[in-house]
Structure 1
Amino acid sequence: MRARSLVILDKSVAAMVAAIEIYNKPVFMYREETFAVLAINAWELLLKAKWLKDNKNKLASLYVSDTGGAKQALSKSSPKSPRLRYKTNRAGNPMTHSLDHFVKSLVASKALDIEVERNLLALTEVRDNSIHFYNDNPSLAERLQELGTAAVKNFVIASQEWFSMNYADYNFHLMPLAFFNPVAAADAIVLTKEQRRVVSYIESMETNKESDRHYAVSVNVNLKFVRSTATHAMAVQLSNDPDAMPIQMTEEQITAKYPLDYAQVQNRCRQRYSDFLTNDKFHLLRASVSKDPKYCRVRELDPGNPKTPKKPYFSEAIMTFFDQHYTKK
């Protein structure tokens, strides 16, 4: 029988997959609202799975205790001590703690990053407005994608750190808004008081958008297709499908995607892990992903010169890979 935490983890991943699939549909009139509802649902289940894992899979660790009722309920076998009781819902089942409770508890124990808390607070505000009222503004849709992209990114990182999840068979990406309804005149749209409050609240959560952490409050999504005749432009195809549309990336974009050289990766590992050594284990691990474009790209120091030396550069994702093989401090 599988552990309860893993069963809930599966439900969590299913909810996030559903959120992404709905968001990426070509035509769906309730896109942002549905994504916010399902993404928050996925995160709440993920946090409950983590909580169960840390509490030996005891379901009672999720329940809200009813201290008032406990004072009046005495156990027959031990009449001097009250029997622990829990608050119940309309059906009479025990109520579980809220998303906010698990977020604050895990942040306090440093099991969860403060950036995730801010992201979920902002996304929850969008969810609440969707359920209890409505969101009806193109600029809010754009902000939702920034929050949603960060929520998906954070979800993948947390589930990998806590449960070593493998997402090789999933496409955990939100399609850029450029493929949907371009917000050409968003700056000219007048927001209502209610909409301004939502936007202001989201902005108040984004106090640290330039954080160097792996987690993020929101992620800016900027997609550009530029015809280039430059000889130094590097051709990149972001798909294994040979018929996929090719996308050109500039030197600056590649540097941003692969910012770490060998020495920087070593320094990151020394600072991040308590059991790290620059030994055969490290070299073998690094070599195992050196041909995976997700983690590494070999660049020419003098592009176009056939005799130029080459040097490997690594993406931030390589630290998530090393997290599976070393112990974090």
Structure 2
Amino acid sequence: MKINPTYKSLLSKSINSMLSAIEIYNKPNFLYREETFAILAVNAIELLFKAHLLKLHNYNIKELYFMESVKTKKGEVHKRKKTPKLNRSGNPMTIGIFDVINKLNSKCKVPPNFINNIEVLVELRDNSIHFYNDSFCQKEIQEIGFATIKNYIRIIKEWNIVDIDLSKYNLYLMPLAYIDSKTYSSGIITDETENYIEFLKSKIENTDNEDQEYDIAVSIDIKFNKSNSIGQIGVFYDPNGVPVNLKEEEISAKYPLTYREICKKSRIRYIDFKQDRKFNAIMADIKKDKSLSYVRLLYPNKPDKNKTYFYSTNVWKELDKHYKRKK
């Protein structure tokens, strides 16, 4: 099947722009990394959205143009006829990222948390292009960057954009650089940086809790412990691996959901949800999966009495297989 050349070009440029953003950010000594990442990442998202909008409108290129009313011979504005507005070089002007989002929302809703993530990123990009950033909150920007890549990958899968083969790229690779936030808390932060942090906080405070799949920022917490064991530097889940003991607060962070909260949110999340035998059977299987659930015993010496289960947010991926999500 022949692919529309404009659509194909937009997707290709989008993925290459995101790869460039990650590659530049990962350079060990690049003084303009945050600003460059923001510029390229926003570009990647905008091109992806434009490609999808183009496809939804049967590849009608005018959907991407900034249209203006045609003037009649008398110099009056025509009521119906419109033509693409031209830029300084005489080429048609295309609409911006937020105009694209508004158009997409009439066809397929863009997740609100992703939009907030984009707004924070665009604010950084605009400051970089049109003026400059005097001092910077590197840790916060890195958290935004993690969320941006996660959201970008998620929307490609959700929209079923098969023309981008994610298996070819390691978009998850964004090494976590050690950034000492004390440098900024003890130094002089400009009013502009404080304003940006407040803007970021306002977006995070307005997080849509029902939108579990997308993030505005992904929290980064680095802890260094003195130890002679290299094995304690990092861990990953392996059913056959060595057991790892977690602190109470770490368990709460990894398994934040209760059974009651899952039932309550499921009624909002799914069209066909019922708290019946089917649901109980699914939850019984989830309880057996140590990566999805954690059991807390009131009396450790009596494991069959007074125990409570807590669940990971990954439980939604399992439930999504059995119930139909609301649009």
Q: Taking structure 2 as the reference length, what is the TM-score of the superposition?
A: 0.71
8 Å CA contact 1:26–1:180 kept in 2: the answer is no
Match of 1:130 in 2: 128
Q: Which aligned pairs between 1:137-176 and structure 2 lie closer than 5 A?
A: 137-138=135-136, 140-163=137-160, 170-172=170-172, 174-176=174-176
Q: For 2:179 and 2:32, locate their aligned partners in 1 and report how far apart those are by CA, in whole Å.
A: 13
Q: For 1:90 and 1:323, locate their aligned partners in 2 and report how far apart those are by CA, in whole Å.
A: 49
Q: Which aligned pairs between 1:186-265 and structure 2 lie closer than 5 A?
A: 186-208=184-206, 211=209, 213-214=211-212, 215-226=214-225, 237-238=235-236, 249-260=246-257, 265=262
- Counterpart check, 1:112 vs 2:110: yes
- Is the partner of 2:70 in helix, strand or coil? helix
**Equivalent residue letter for 2:34:** E
Change (3 A) 1:275 1:112: same
Give unmatched runs, 5+ long, in structure 2.
none
Match of 1:243 in 2: none
Structure 1 window deviating more from structure 2 (100-109 vs 12-21): it is 100-109
Equivalent position to 1:54, from 49, 53, 56: 56
8 Å CA contact 2:255–2:311 kept in 1: the answer is yes
8 Å CA contact 1:298–1:313 kept in 2: the answer is yes
Q: Deviation at 1:126?
A: 0.9
Structure 1 window deviating more from structure 2 (195-204 vs 141-150): it is 195-204
- Is the partner of 2:83 in helix, strand or coil? coil
Q: Deviation at 1:36?
A: 0.6
Change (3 A) 1:68 1:141: farther
8 Å CA contact 1:209–1:218 kept in 2: the answer is no
- Counterpart check, 1:274 vs 2:271: yes
**Equivalent residue letter for 1:95:** M
Q: Deviation at 1:256?
A: 2.0
Q: Deviation at 1:111?
A: 0.6
Give unmatched runs, 5+ long, in structure 1.
73-79, 229-233, 241-245
Q: For 1:303 and 1:175, locate their aligned partners in 2 and report how far apart those are by CA, in whole Å.
A: 42
Q: What's the Cα RMSD here?
A: 4.5
Change (3 A) 1:47 1:135: same
Q: For 1:103 and 1:260, locate their aligned partners in 2 and report how far apart those are by CA, in whole Å.
A: 32
Q: For 2:251 and 2:166, locate their aligned partners in 1 and report how far apart those are by CA, in whole Å.
A: 24
Q: For 1:33 and 1:300, locate their aligned partners in 2 and report how far apart those are by CA, in whole Å.
A: 45
Q: Deviation at 1:292?
A: 9.4
Q: Deviation at 1:131?
A: 1.8
**Equivalent residue letter for 2:220:** V
Change (3 A) 1:82 1:109: closer
Per-residue CA distance 1:51-109 (angstroms, 9 max, x = gap): 2243233222111112135x46xxxxxxx997642123344432221012123444577
Change (3 A) 1:284 1:200: closer
Q: For 1:299 and 1:30, locate their aligned partners in 2 and report how far apart those are by CA, in whole Å.
A: 46
Q: Deviation at 1:308?
A: 6.9
**Equivalent residue letter for 2:175:** M
Q: Deviation at 1:37?
A: 0.7
How many residue pairs get aligned? The number is 308
Match of 1:121 in 2: 119
Q: For 2:251 and 2:12, locate their aligned partners in 1 and report how far apart those are by CA, in whole Å.
A: 35
Q: Deviation at 1:190?
A: 1.8
Q: For 2:179 and 2:233, locate their aligned partners in 1 and report how far apart those are by CA, in whole Å.
A: 28
Equivalent position to 2:35, from 33, 36, 41: 33
8 Å CA contact 1:209–1:217 kept in 2: the answer is yes
8 Å CA contact 2:255–2:293 kept in 1: the answer is yes
Equivalent position to 1:101, from 99, 102, 109: 99
Match of 1:65 in 2: 67
Change (3 A) 1:136 1:86: same
8 Å CA contact 2:13–2:47 kept in 1: the answer is yes
- Is the partner of 2:182 in helix, strand or coil? coil
- Is the partner of 1:67 in helix, strand or coil? strand
Q: For 1:145 and 1:66, locate their aligned partners in 2 and report how far apart those are by CA, in whole Å.
A: 39
Q: For 1:282 and 1:93, locate their aligned partners in 2 and report how far apart those are by CA, in whole Å.
A: 60
Q: For 1:213 and 1:148, locate their aligned partners in 2 and report how far apart those are by CA, in whole Å.
A: 18
Identity of aligned residues (%): 31
Q: Deviation at 1:251?
A: 4.0
**Equivalent residue letter for 1:225:** F
- Is the partner of 1:68 in helix, strand or coil? strand
